[in-house]
Structure 1
């Protein structure tokens, strides 16, 4: 693979889930900073709207589209400096209610798609002797709430996967950073409410489901904008010695410390209040 000469301050970046929310805000900011940004997402029309972005339409569940994306970038640029695994969604609903095939889909996108793309990018980074992987987890990968078991499980999986992988990559000078957003004003919560209503609005867990849905809609207006996460990602890319984790956005630190300083018992009392 031929490697092009380049300005070391300008990175070749691949970001998934680039068509909206955190992914789009991050892609736009990195483009403003002069980086070469490839955006991977299902919605090709929206990708085309982002000025300067190099769009790659594809699906995180489709092996061939992941392989094609990595090949395209390596053929055009000779390297991938930064991989931002941002694609994902939230599946809410009681464990008893959510069909197991939907739970599997949650893991295919949030965990296995992320893992497979990472596998595909690593050979290029090892050859270069450097690289940066940013895995977009969530404060939901450190805490938990009722009717979020499948989503929390997928984010907890990303946390463990990332920590272990970081140790594997140290000798190759490849850094791995986890970003853990709190409450961010994107369409994430509106999309998450749909399965919550579909699967759990009737039956044994209907009261809890309605309370959670109400609380989500009420809190949306005061959530942090996606730009706060985008600026954190840019800071990570520009840092010579980034931290292993970054909590960012509304309630991220509050929720994390509430669990880890107060203990599980007190935290669960707080979590239960969200269902009333």
Structure 2
């Protein structure tokens, strides 16, 4: 029996053994790569996003649904539709997210609140929607796509880091609460990923800028704080870890993605007097590194 079928073992009211996954934020990047990877393994994938229609490649291989994770009624309705159509739901991949960059002082509180609703409350809403079905089936996987920035923050993306830190805590609590139910919960923690995330974040840098944060804005505009440059992982590498969390017999609590993610994740054990200079240093040095990288034509 393949790993994919192992995660979905148990049958359903329709007599179909095909495992079923619900993925949020599937229009591009990590979500699209994960939807494709699970479909390749024989899963029935429900690819969802607030932006519709999804790319043709996904429409050909997945069942697509519009889903705003901040709309509780829509979340419940989509989950009910999946269960009605398939009789099961084996994996939930909470991937939807975006960043509102800028120093804490300059970020509009309403923008920060909406971001938090997607990164944290949307995850909680979907978990509440799928858990009765998973618990009744005696198995299920919840995979939350977090970030190492939930453990080690960077100036200029503080509200995003705060949302990911909250997601880390929510996931840890959920994993412990669901022990012995057959439902496993994992975090996938990349650092930077080569997607449109940085471009979308920079589009939100349109508010007033406090002069005191010149260095922070320079790092956001011209450094690697948002995209990571050559340190960014491919979406497929993150999708590979998500698939592992969804299909392996004994999933881990955390799946850091890439060498740099492991490094960033463990810097949080350092005292603040050592962490803080490292974070400031990275932003400044990344400006020069990015300039040199571009002059070399983007070559490693």
Runs of 4+ in structure 1 off by over 4 angstroms are none
Is the deviation greater in 76-85 or in 58-67? 58-67
Q: Which residue of 2 aligns with 1:248?
A: 257
The superposition leaves residues 65-114 of structure 1 with CA deviations (integer Å, 9 ceiling, x where unpaired) of 21221011010011110000010111111111111100110111111111
Q: CA deviation at 1:249?
A: 3.1
Q: Which residue of 1 aligns with 2:16?
A: 6
1:123-162 to structure 2, matched below 5 A, reads 123-162=132-171
Distance between the aligned counterparts of 2:259 and 2:111, measured in 1? Answer: 28
The DSSP-based 3-state class of the residue aligned with 1:127 is helix
The alignment's C-alpha RMSD in Å is 1.7
Distance between the aligned counterparts of 1:212 and 1:42, measured in 2? Answer: 26
Change in 2 beyond 3 A, CA 1:218/1:55: closer
TM value normalised by structure 2: 0.85
Contact between 1:200 and 1:206, CA under 8 Å: does it hold in 2? no
The superposition leaves residues 18-43 of structure 1 with CA deviations (integer Å, 9 ceiling, x where unpaired) of 11110000101111111010011012
Q: CA deviation at 1:268?
A: 1.4
Change in 2 beyond 3 A, CA 1:170/1:75: same
What number of residue pairs does the alignment pair up? 271
TM value normalised by structure 1: 0.92
Contact between 1:141 and 1:159, CA under 8 Å: does it hold in 2? yes
Structure 2 regions of 5+ residues with no counterpart?
1-11, 285-300
Contact between 1:93 and 1:199, CA under 8 Å: does it hold in 2? no
Distance between the aligned counterparts of 1:45 and 1:116, measured in 2? Answer: 23
Q: CA deviation at 1:221?
A: 4.5
Structure 1 regions of 5+ residues with no counterpart?
none
Distance between the aligned counterparts of 2:282 and 2:221, measured in 1? Answer: 10
1:52-201 to structure 2, matched below 5 A, reads 52-195=61-204, 197-199=205-207, 201=209
